């Protein structure tokens, strides 16, 4: 059953798998690493254009290491999970400074780099260096759980250990890169989360989930954390044709991205309630201003957050003392700064009526 499983997946990959991607078959550890970091928490269709842009801008790890943070974060804008980008830069610096720009070639060294966990380390080790380490991502978990009828949730400690042990046992150590790519592609193309193609599945004959009518039940999912609502009231404050902007540095969503002055409230407030709030009055205290526009509530869904944002455009007649430390940026230059997706969407809708010099 196990030998049939591994041999059948490799056969399927070589004869029936039409999936082509620029990093498939790649042996350059830098490009493999870059693709894996971009594709964490990101669909291939969304991540592919980013991968191509990164390769064009930073063809090797030395050019990435030498780039400014603002340029890298700007190129990453829209992918979300910005800690990945922060770790991308940290790893580039580590490889250049400690490994003379040569990507380490052992699993423990790769695993020790910032932002690289067991899955990514196994992918780099096997794809770039043909080392016998099994990858265990969502696609792999789904295939294994269905085929072997595994009832443990992969996001628990016991589940992770079980799937890692099983994946390692099944790995074809003579061709680890081929096997790892095959099982991941099989999960993406055949053993899909919804509407799996069981009718053309080459391993259906021994699949326990198919035999027992449990395909939709597997893999088992543990209880997910509750989604928290957050209410952001952005003040798009202009002074002499420029906008106030600051960098989010706290350990929160959108760390290392720029945003407009923000008043976060516990619940949704109307435009009138916002203008009458103590936080707003304190922010604009002593400054003459006029309110130009309020947007409707905009929404953005994150993994464990729902963001509800309203943008209020304000023209100040004098500098705003409460915003000391913020930078002033012309509207035409906002594209030079990495911004949260919800702000980019507002800018693309041309909500701003600011006169730009």
CATH classification at residue 60: 1.10.340.30
Same domain, 114 and 234: no
Question: Would you say residue 143 has pLDDT above 90?
Answer: yes
The verdict on whether 152 is a catalytic residue reads no
pLDDT at 352: 66
Q: 327-355 pLDDT, tens per residue?
A: 999 988 998 899 998 998 888 877 765 54
Range of the domain at 271: 228-348
Residue after which a domain boundary falls, among 217, 236, 261:
217
Q: How far apart, in whole angstroms, are the C-alpha atoms of residue 70 and residue 90?
A: 14
Same domain, 59 and 190: yes
- What tokens were used for 34? 């870059």
SS3 327: strand
CATH code of the domain containing 300: 3.90.79.10
Burial of 169 per CB tally in 10 Å (0-12, 13-18, 19+): exposed
Same domain, 234 and 207: no
- Pair 277, 315: CB distance under 8 Å: no
Helix axes 29-39, 83-98, angle to 10 degrees: 160
pLDDT at 150: 96
Residue 238: name the closest of 291, 312, 314, 294 by CA: 314
Catalytic residue among 36, 69, 152, 217: 36
Residue 273 lies in a domain: yes
- What tokens were used for 88? 């991308």
Average pLDDT, the chain: 93
Residue 341 lies in a domain: yes
Question: Would you say residue 33 has pLDDT above 80?
Answer: yes
Residue 354 lies in a domain: no
Q: How far apart, in whole angstroms, are the C-alpha atoms of residue 76 and residue 255?
A: 13
Same domain, 25 and 149: yes
Residue 356 lies in a domain: no
pLDDT at 353: 56
Gyration radius (Cα) of the chain, Å: 25
Q: Full-prediction pTM beyond 0.85?
A: no
Residue 340: name the closest of 252, 228, 213 by CA: 252
Residue 272 lies in a domain: yes
- Pair 38, 79: CB distance under 8 Å: yes
Residue 222 lies in a domain: no
Same domain, 75 and 37: yes
Residue after which a domain boundary falls, among 182, 217, 252:
217
Same domain, 207 and 243: no
Same domain, 46 and 126: yes
Same domain, 104 and 24: yes
- What tokens were used for 322? 């409460």
Sequence-distant contacts of 30-36: CB under 8 A, at least 24 apart:
30/60, 30/61, 30/103, 31/55, 32/123, 32/124, 32/127, 32/128, 33/91, 33/103, 33/116, 33/120, 33/124, 34/88, 36/119, 36/120, 36/123, 36/124
Residue 104 lies in a domain: yes
What average pLDDT does this structure show over 221-231?
Answer: 86
Q: How far apart, in whole angstroms, are the C-alpha atoms of residue 191 and residue 198?
A: 7
Same domain, 196 and 306: no
pLDDT band at 356 (very low <50, low <70, confident <90, very high): very low
Same domain, 44 and 143: yes
Residue 274 lies in a domain: yes
**Number of structural domains the chain divides into:** 2
Same domain, 56 and 190: yes
Q: 248-260 pLDDT, tens per residue?
A: 988 899 988 999 9
Q: How far apart, in whole angstroms, are the C-alpha atoms of residue 297 and residue 307?
A: 10
Q: 71-106 pLDDT, tens per residue?
A: 999 999 988 888 899 999 999 999 999 999 999 999
Helix axes 138-148, 176-189, angle to 10 degrees: 80
Same domain, 257 and 199: no
Residue after which a domain boundary falls, among 169, 197, 217:
217
Question: Would you say residue 69 has pLDDT above 60?
Answer: yes
Q: 151-199 pLDDT, tens per residue?
A: 999 888 899 999 999 999 999 999 999 999 999 999 999 999 999 999 9
């Amino acid at each position: 059953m196990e030998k049939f499983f591994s041999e059948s997946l490799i056969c399927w990959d070589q004869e029936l798998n039409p999936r082509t991607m620029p990093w498939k078959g790649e042996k350059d550890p830098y490009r493999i690493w870059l693709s894996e970091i971009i594709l964490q928490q990101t669909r291939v269709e969304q991540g592919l254009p980013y991968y191509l842009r990164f390769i064009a801008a930073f063809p090797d790890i030395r050019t990435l290491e030498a780039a400014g943070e603002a340029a890298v974060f700007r190129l990453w804008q829209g992918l979300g999970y910005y800690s990945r980008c922060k770790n991308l830069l940290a790893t580039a610096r580590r490889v250049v400074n400690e490994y003379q720009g040569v990507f380490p070639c052992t699993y423990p060294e790769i695993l020790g780099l910032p932002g690289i966990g067991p899955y990514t380390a196994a992918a780099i080790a096997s794809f770039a260096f043909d080392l016998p380490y099994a990858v265990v991502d969502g696609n792999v978990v789904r295939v294994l759980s269905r085929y072997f009828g595994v009832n443990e949730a992969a996001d628990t400690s016991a589940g992770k250990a079980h799937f890692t042990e099983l994946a390692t046992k099944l790995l074809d150590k003579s061709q680890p890169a081929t096997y790892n790519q095959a099982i991941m592609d099989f999960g993406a193309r055949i053993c899909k989360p919804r509407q799996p193609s069981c009718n053309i599945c080459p391993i259906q004959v021994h699949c326990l989930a198919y035999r027992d009518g449990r395909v939709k039940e597997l893999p088992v999912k543990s209880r997910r954390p509750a989604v928290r609502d957050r209410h952001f009231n952005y003040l798009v404050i202009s002074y002499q044709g420029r906008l106030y902007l600051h960098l989010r540095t706290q350990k929160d969503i959108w760390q290392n991205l720029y945003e407009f002055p923000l008043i976060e409230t516990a619940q949704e407030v109307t435009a009138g309630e916002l203008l009458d709030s103590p936080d707003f009055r304190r922010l604009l205290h002593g400054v003459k201003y006029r309110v130009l526009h309020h947007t409707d509530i905009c929404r953005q869904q994150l993994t464990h957050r729902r963001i509800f944002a309203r943008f209020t455009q304000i023209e100040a007649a004098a500098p705003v003392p409460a915003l000391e430390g913020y930078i002033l940026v012309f509207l035409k230059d906002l594209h030079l700064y990495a911004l949260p997706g919800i702000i980019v969407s507002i800018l693309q809708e041309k909500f701003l009526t600011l006169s730009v010099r």
